[in-house]
Structure 1
Amino acid sequence: MFSISRFHELLKALPRGVFDRLVSAQGADRHCKRFSSWDHLVAMMYGHLTGVSSLRELEASFNSHSNHHYHLGTGSIRRSTLAEANGRRGAELFAQTAQHLMAGVSRQVRRDSQELLYLLDSTSITLKGPGFDAWTLAERTRRTQGLKVHVLYAAQAAAPLHCRFSAANVNDIDEGRQLSIEPHVTYVFDKGYCDYNWWARLDEQQARFVTRFKYNAALKVLARREVPEADREQIREDEEVRFAHRHPGGKRLNRYQKPLRRIVVERPGHERPLILATNDLESPAATIAEHYRARWQIELFFKWIKQHLKIKRFLGRSENAVRLQILCALISYLLLSLYRSASGTSQSLWILLVEVRSTLFQRPALETERYRRRQERLRELHLRQGQLALA
């Protein structure tokens, strides 16, 4: 009886035909003789899922499972070949692969959810030292040297929908302006995306947003709303406001002239409360506060992927190698998430990763069949022993 391994089951969410079409469109294997893009992806995913710390360890560990390579559509690897591929093979193919998986998540979210809540944020990847300094030093900031990963995250699916890279000195709002806006979606972001004209574009495209006003924002109060008694411990104020100045400074023009909600939310243990801004004039203030509180999910996503996949230690020091490794981490996360949804398990993604890591080349269906047969033999044995006792 043939049964596929757990690793093979994970890869089922990325059909080989889809990946081959992406390879053909990018011309990624045009000059490739042996180590194909699929071999590259499988090797890098193996490194993330098993937590190897070096190319030497990845080579020895992966090659020790040579009897499984055929069913994965790959073969043994050499660390010199993998190192060369990380440095030279373009990361665009892996970006397109991640985007294909994220598009699947987006379709699932739209099918399963009534309300769409998207979280927008970025995280910095620190890259210093020989090899890294050659391409990160010139664009460092006072706090960070490396690159930024900008992510749009679906709160309902707990999975990313969009990912872009930038230099460490690029402001978050510069990437936000390039985002494709979807109507009837609530976008949640922090003060790094404070651009009133971009807020106006969100509103024009029938999208809602929840963010924070700066404490010095000049506002004119239009109306004060009654805060329900049940929410008064959490919500201090709920007002309809408008920006006081059309020209906030210099030659800048503020195009946002519609009413906004200003909601002051109590923060126990902090000197200042949260001052939220939203163009949602209908939802209760407590719901708006809950939307902003959900922004913490994307912070947890960044923390999870840095702690449990290979993001802190890189197998190559060129910009291409770093981007490629981060994209393969994202692909691994998405495949784990899709695998959890398909299997219907309620366990956390971390526990699932622990199980996958320890049983990556086990064959679950075969193990189940062996267990069933063993239980049948035990039942037959007990039945015969009972018959002998009666005799």
Structure 2
Amino acid sequence: MDKHIGKTSFCKWTEPVSFENLPVGLQEKIDPTDAYVKKLFFDRFLKLMLNAVYSQRASLRDIQASLLNPDFQAAIGLESLSSSQISRKIRGIDSAILEEIFYFLVALANQNKRNDKLPKAFIVDSTTVSLNKNRYPWAEFRSTKSGIKLHLRLAYIGKGDAYPDKAVLTNASVHDVNKLEIVVDEKLATYIFDRGYMDFELFDKFSYGGFFFVSRIKKNTLVHVMSEYEVPPGGDILQDQMVVLGGKNGYLTEPYRLVEVTDTQENMLRIITNRFDLSAEEISQMYRSRWQIELFFKQLKQQTTIKKFFTQEENGLKNQIYLALMAQLLTYLVKLETHSDLSALTIQRYLFAFLWKASELWETRIRGKPTESK
């Protein structure tokens, strides 16, 4: 690497997780993992694996080969490693440590996020990664295959602007609604989720606890209309009502608001919420923002290595998923710092274009001021 180049884009990207920048308590938890280690210290391992999942390395040998790049060698202080060394490390690191680093990055994003005037909104959903039944027998799912599930909460800032805020990893057999209470923990925030999470008693529990929600109801849901609100003519809003759900000897909910709208394909959406302070159009737009988490899952699976795992052990799989989420957060932190309007995917592409060049070139490009690379 050119000694005059200064801090590279890779070093800028990984700077928040450099050992010296982590909280003291985290450093103390990491220290024992480096006992008796000769080469692959935790700091090096973390940067090696962040590069591996973000550049979509296909295997341990592929990660091993990445160290043939002299710039990468200089960045992490390693000239070579065997695939077996990498395998032992990713299996051996307690996933609780990587989980804590993930939440450390979430805290940095929360401190620096833009548009604090917006009401707090979180989008909740899950995604399943199917696995081979013979290779991953511990990951219970179906009779013919195994799988793991990522239950995720996105902090929603605005259109095209969201970041992972909370993550829970389970076997794929765990139903989404069983983990909903874990990710709904911040009062006065609005939680947006799909009808797979529908639970009448849970809805009431959220309302009593001071949590707002926006969701859909199923076609066969029993609805009792209490009153009608006026609907402006000529728009996408079909009906705006105060309702209770359930009945016929089943659980009957507290009064909620039901907004019926049409989507872009002229399909009707029935949106249930305990937000009576917003217009029907605002509720409709809030639910439509749920698409952001679908886009995030698509990007996570297509732009990072989480569908092909480097180990068969549960701890190693969890580590790989946390690394993928951390990579996304590191990019989002750069987006915040540079006040960029670009998507995280575009910033990622620019990162690899300028990976071993001066970070100023990458940051300038992100800010929207093109410059010639050195």
The interval holding the TM-score normalised by the smaller chain is: 0.7 to 0.9
Q: CA deviation at 1:333?
A: 0.7
Cα distance in structure 2, aligned partners of 1:181 and 1:366: 40
Q: Could you list the per-position Cα deviations for residues 293-323 of structure 1 after superposition, in whole angstroms to 9, with x for gaps in the alignment?
A: 1000000000001101111222222222211
Cα distance in structure 1, aligned partners of 2:260 and 2:145: 32
Query: Is the contact made by 1:235 and 1:264 (CA closer than 8 Å) also made in structure 2?
Result: yes
- Of the candidates 312, 317, 322, which is equivalent to residue 322 of structure 1? 317
Q: Could you list the per-position Cα deviations for residues 133-177 of structure 1 after superposition, in whole angstroms to 9, with x for gaps in the alignment?
A: x222xx213796310000000121410100010111111110112
2:293 matches 1:290: no
- Of the candidates 276, 282, 285, which is equivalent to residue 281 of structure 1? 276
2:192 matches 1:188: yes
Q: Could you list the per-position Cα deviations for residues 28-62 of structure 1 after superposition, in whole angstroms to 9, with x for gaps in the alignment?
A: 51644222221211110111232221211211222
SS at match of 1:126: strand
Query: Is the contact made by 1:131 and 1:318 (CA closer than 8 Å) also made in structure 2?
Result: no
Query: Is the contact made by 2:133 and 2:146 (CA closer than 8 Å) also made in structure 1?
Result: no
User: Whose radius of gyration is greater, 1 or 2?
Assistant: 1
Counterpart amino acid of 1:36? F
Runs (5+) with no aligned partner, structure 2: 364-371
2:265 matches 1:262: no
Q: Kindly tell me: are residues 37 and 273 of structure 1, through their superposed partners in 2, closer, same or farther at Cα, counting changes over 3 Å? A: same
Counterpart amino acid of 1:236? L
Cα distance in structure 1, aligned partners of 2:144 and 2:263: 27
Counterpart amino acid of 1:235? I
- Of the candidates 163, 166, 171, which is equivalent to residue 162 of structure 1? 166
2:11 matches 1:8: yes
Cα distance in structure 2, aligned partners of 1:266 and 1:359: 44
- Of the candidates 307, 313, 327, which is equivalent to residue 312 of structure 1? 307
TM-score by length of structure 2 reads 0.87
Aligned pairs (5 A) from 1:206-217? 206-217=210-221
Q: Could you list the per-position Cα deviations for residues 275-298 of structure 1 after superposition, in whole angstroms to 9, with x for gaps in the alignment?
A: 110001121111111111100000
Q: CA deviation at 1:109?
A: 4.0
Q: Which residue of 2 aligns with 1:237?
A: 239
Counterpart amino acid of 1:164? V
SS at match of 1:176: helix
Cα distance in structure 2, aligned partners of 1:244 and 1:356: 51
Q: Kindly tell me: are residues 68 and 169 of structure 1, through their superposed partners in 2, closer, same or farther at Cα, counting changes over 3 Å? A: closer
Q: Which residue of 1 aligns with 2:349?
A: 354
Counterpart amino acid of 1:310? T
Q: Which residue of 2 aligns with 1:24?
A: 28
SS at match of 1:263: strand
Query: Is the contact made by 1:5 and 1:364 (CA closer than 8 Å) also made in structure 2?
Result: yes
Counterpart amino acid of 2:263? R
Query: Is the contact made by 2:126 and 2:176 (CA closer than 8 Å) also made in structure 1?
Result: yes
Q: Percent identity?
A: 24
Q: Could you list the per-position Cα deviations for residues 240-293 of structure 1 after superposition, in whole angstroms to 9, with x for gaps in the alignment?
A: 012353951xxxx55x42x211111123546x5111100011211111111111
- Superposed CA RMSD: 2.6
Cα distance in structure 1, aligned partners of 2:183 and 2:156: 17
Q: Which residue of 2 aligns with 1:379?
A: none
What count of residue pairs does the alignment treat as equivalent? 356
Runs (5+) with no aligned partner, structure 1: 369-374, 376-391
Q: Kindly tell me: are residues 347 and 111 of structure 1, through their superposed partners in 2, closer, same or farther at Cα, counting changes over 3 Å? A: closer
Aligned pairs (5 A) from 1:107-126? 107-109=111-113, 112-126=116-130
Q: Could you list the per-position Cα deviations for residues 314-369 of structure 1 after superposition, in whole angstroms to 9, with x for gaps in the alignment?
A: 2222222211111111111100111122123333222221221232222244999x
Query: Is the contact made by 1:23 and 1:29 (CA closer than 8 Å) also made in structure 2?
Result: no
Query: Is the contact made by 2:68 and 2:80 (CA closer than 8 Å) also made in structure 1?
Result: yes
